[in-house]
Amino acid sequence: MAKFITPIGEIAIIILGHASLLIQWEGKNIFVDPYSKVADYSVQPKADLVLITHHHRDHLDKEALKHITNDKTLYVTSIIAQKEISGAKGLKQGEEFDYNGLKIEAVYAYNVNQKRDNGQPFHPRGEGNGYVLNFGGYSVYIAGDTELIPEMKELGKIDIAFLPKNLPYTMSDDMFVEAVKVIKPKILYPYHYSELSEAVIKSKLPEGVTLFTK
C-alpha cells in the first residue's frame, strides 16, 4: 500500500494483481477491474464505486463483483460493459462522471499495432476506456488495455499513471517507456504485466519519474 496526499483528501493505493486496484479515499473503497483469479475478493471491503475499463473477462469478472458489491455500489463502465451490469453508468471517451467531488473522465484505450489473426485489434478504438481520476487537481491515470496512442498527448498533467506492459495485448517494454515519456507522470505504476525487471525499467525512465510496484 502507498499513500498520497491530494487537495481533497488522502488516497491509499493497493495493488491486487493483473489490472486490479483498490483506491481508498475519504472512507470510500474504489475498485478498478476486480479479477477473482488474482485476489480473494471475499476478504476485501465492500465497494462504494467500481470502475470497469472494458468487457473482457479479466476486467469484468462477475465472480469478483459478487463478493464486494451491494445495492449501494455504483459502477462506472465502458458503454459495452454497461450492458452487463444493471444500473451502471456507461461513459464514452471524453465524458465525465462526478463522484462526491472526484471527477472521473473516460479516455481512449486501444491497440494500434497488436492484432488478432483475423486482423482485428485486440482492443478496437472506442470499445474500452482508460480513466483519469481528478482529485481536486491531483490526477490519477488508469490506462486500461492500450498501446501508446496519440490521445495520450492530450491527457494534461498526470501525477500517478498506471500503464500496462504485456504483449501481445498492450505495450512492449520499449513502447511502455515511450508512453511514460509522453505522459510524464510523477509516479509510475506498471500493471497488467507478467514479467517486470525493475532495474531495467528504472534505467530507461525519464528524470523525475518515480517507479512504484507495490
pLDDT per residue, tens digit, the chain (214 aa), is 899 999 999 999 999 998 999 999 999 999 999 999 999 999 999 999 999 999 988 889 999 999 999 999 999 999 999 999 999 999 999 999 999 999 999 999 998 877 787 868 777 898 999 999 999 999 999 999 999 999 999 999 999 999 998 877 888 888 899 999 999 999 999 998 877 777 878 888 888 899 988 7
pTM of the predicted model as reported, rounded to 2 decimal places: 0.94
Give the pLDDT score at 105: 98
The DSSP letter of residue 47 is P
DSSP state of 45: P
CATH number at residue 24: 3.60.15.10
Cell readout for 106 is 473516460
Q: CB neighbours (10 Å) of residue 8?
A: 15
Residue 203: give the domain boundaries: 2-211
CA distance linking residue 65 with residue 11, whole number of Å: 22
Number of domains in the chain: 1
Cα separation of 61 and 16, whole Å? 14
Please report the pLDDT score of residue 40 as a whole number.
96
